[in-house]
Amino acid sequence: MLQAGASQSAVSKELNVHRSVIHRLWCHYQRDQNSSRRRGSGRRRITTTADDRYLLQCARRRRTLTARQLASQLSAAAGRSISRQTVSCSLHVGGLFARRPVVCVPLSPDHVRLHWAREHLS
């Protein structure tokens, strides 16, 4: 509308926004030849949505991988390092939680609990 020759006041009334908004966008467009939105507040994301999907897929395929192992696997695939905490948060958003491989003590037949469980089976 401004390129067609309309005034900033007319455009602001037409779009029902304050004149300063139109002025700021027009100045931004003239300076950068782009009127896209500015980046929002807050910290930038380290991982992309594709990275998050990759992490969820790897975690579902190999359920015994720890968050640290998943981080190193993504670092090798994407070429940038991410922390264990970032992986844990990404898994949590996807409905999963970081798993740790558990070292189980194998039960022997003379194990007390196993013996008790077999006696009280029924």
Interval 39-85: pLDDT, tens: 677 788 888 899 999 998 998 888 888 889 999 999 998 888 899 99
Residue with tokens 């720890």: 66
Q: What sign does the dihedral 83-85-89-95 (CA atoms) show?
A: positive
- 74 Cβ contact list (under 8 Å, min separation 6): 47, 51, 54, 55, 58, 82, 87
Amino acid identity, position 118 = R
Domain extent for 28: 2-32
Interval 81-102: pLDDT, tens: 899 999 988 888 888 876 665 5
In 3-state terms, what secondary structure has residue 1?
coil
Confidence class for position 104, pLDDT limits 50, 70, 90: low
* Residue 117 within any structural domain of the chain: no
* Residue 61 within any structural domain of the chain: yes
* Residue 114 within any structural domain of the chain: no
Spatial contact of 82 and 75, defined as CB atoms under 8 Å apart: yes
Residue with tokens 């980046």: 39
Do 55 and 81 lie in one domain? The reply is: yes
- Give the model's pLDDT for residue 53: 92
Do 82 and 57 lie in one domain? The reply is: yes
Do 53 and 90 lie in one domain? The reply is: yes
How many domains is the chain partitioned into structurally?
Answer: 2
